[in-house]
Structure 1
Amino acid sequence: MNRPRLFLITPPAFDPVPFGTQLEAALSGGDVACVLIYMPDALSRDRQKAAEQLVPIIQKGGGAAIVYGDTQAAGRSGADGVHIDTSLEDLKLAVESFKPDRIVGAGGTKLKHEDMEWAETGIDYLFYGRLDLDEREEAHPKTIQRAGWWAELFQTPCVALAGNITASAEEAAKTGADFVALKDAIWQHADGPAAAVREANTILEQYPFDDGD
């Protein structure tokens, strides 16, 4: 038996040094599978500098460091992988460059046949949820529906993006997703990121699943 694991997402803009302290606190709060360094509007050199600051913290905390949308920054910073959501061609290039030694994740698909097509490239996970939308308390209904469909039928692990409060991890976990993603629920928690990670893990522990024959 297994259970969903936490997939943390950084804010879209941050100062790497003070944020590194927040990140260390989050990782001290319990199990975190990976952290997505999400800086969609940053220049590549700034994304790389941030990754160089954060990757060692993530890895020391036992998580995998994933860089959003920038294979060069991911490679140069020693990150564990890259997350691609631009196009199938970009994804294929990332898989060719990074696999099998590093992680390649994908997201941003809109249709079920795209999900299957992207998974066929050999990615390590398929991400459900819109990273560029303002978060609400609960996960988006479409995220829940699609993650549940995927988790029931396919072997490639999936990630379900929850809402901006830790309690929303429960609805995402119920989909059967392998990972539950949280962003603002961690960094804006009233009691700090360590407390947020503890709360989220307490919820996820209630949803064990059989990880297959």
Structure 2
Amino acid sequence: MNRPRLFLVTPPAFDTATLADQLKQAFAGGDIACVMIYMPDASTKDIQAAADVLVPIIQDGSAAALVYGDTQAAGRSGADGVHVDKSPEDVKLAVESFQPDRVVGTGGTKTKHDAMELAETGVDYLFFGKLDLTEKETAHDKTLSGANWWAELFETPCVALAGNTLDTLAEVAATGADFVALKDAVWHSEDIAKTISDANTVLEAHPFPEVD
């Protein structure tokens, strides 16, 4: 698929049964590349309990299931990978433990130098955008500039976090990011399947340039 794909991020706190139903609605709406189970304040036990329910649903939707910040829960739940952004050392350990069979992603970089250093660990993607910030209607300027810079110069795929409405998708897709991440725009929607369908329609209008 020669255009950006959707990368969903769960709310930081949720009722697992409710989110499971929302995920099924999301997959009914069309293509989703992956879903990050984002529970930054939860224990390994609680993350694994949620992942045990959600990972099969995500995988049944032909998407990659990623667990944020907890390699134990990711491994035990059968998730497809883990997102680690606490320290370069943690990222390196995850790469050594999970690859090549599973995905390792990272983000949260503050400088271009940090981003390049993390990419050198061999991660599968770099995430631009702060997961712990309150979302605005549009993507943050640093997210857009970071993704645009990265996509133009580097081969490691990147993810760019959009705002909390679909109006933000076109400007994020225009950065050349491989994946566009959505959080609140999906889970706060009254019609999740339509939101995913509409998002894919926008992304289809932003094909990657053909490489000779």
- Give the TM interval when normalised to the shorter protein: over 0.9
Q: Deviations over 1:55-81 (max 9, x none)?
A: 000000010000000000000000000
Name the amino acid aligned to 1:133. Answer: L
CA–CA separation in structure 2 for the residues paired with 1:108 and 1:212: 30
Which runs of structure 2 are paired with 1:14-163 in the superposition (5 Å)?
A: 14-163=14-163
Structure 1 runs of 4+ aligned residues shifted over 3 Å read: 210-213
* TM-score normalised by length of structure 2: 0.98
Name the amino acid aligned to 1:75. Answer: G
Name the amino acid aligned to 2:196. Answer: V
* TM-score normalised by length of structure 1: 0.97
CA–CA separation in structure 2 for the residues paired with 1:168 and 1:131: 16
C-alpha RMSD of matched pairs (Å): 1.0
CA–CA separation in structure 1 for the residues paired with 2:167 and 2:99: 35
CA–CA separation in structure 2 for the residues paired with 1:73 and 1:16: 15
Secondary structure of 2:66's counterpart equals: strand
CA–CA separation in structure 2 for the residues paired with 1:167 and 1:77: 35
Query: What count of residue pairs does the alignment treat as equivalent?
Result: 212
Name the amino acid aligned to 1:17. Answer: A
CA–CA separation in structure 2 for the residues paired with 1:58 and 1:210: 29
CA–CA separation in structure 2 for the residues paired with 1:169 and 1:49: 32
Percent identity, aligned pairs only, is: 66
CA–CA separation in structure 1 for the residues paired with 2:125 and 2:98: 14
Displacement of 1:29 after TM fit? 0.4
Secondary structure of 1:180's counterpart equals: strand
Displacement of 1:211 after TM fit? 6.4
Extract unaligned runs of 5+ from structure 2. none
CA contact (8 A) 1:167 1:203 kept: no
CA–CA separation in structure 2 for the residues paired with 1:75 and 1:196: 31
Q: Deviations over 1:110-161 (max 9, x none)?
A: 0101111100111100000000011010000110001000000000000000
1:202 corresponding residue in structure 2:
201
CA contact (8 A) 1:167 1:200 kept: no
CA–CA separation in structure 2 for the residues paired with 1:12 and 1:30: 24
CA–CA separation in structure 1 for the residues paired with 2:172 and 2:86: 24
Extract unaligned runs of 5+ from structure 1. none
Q: 1:62 to 1:68 in 2, by over 3 A?
A: same
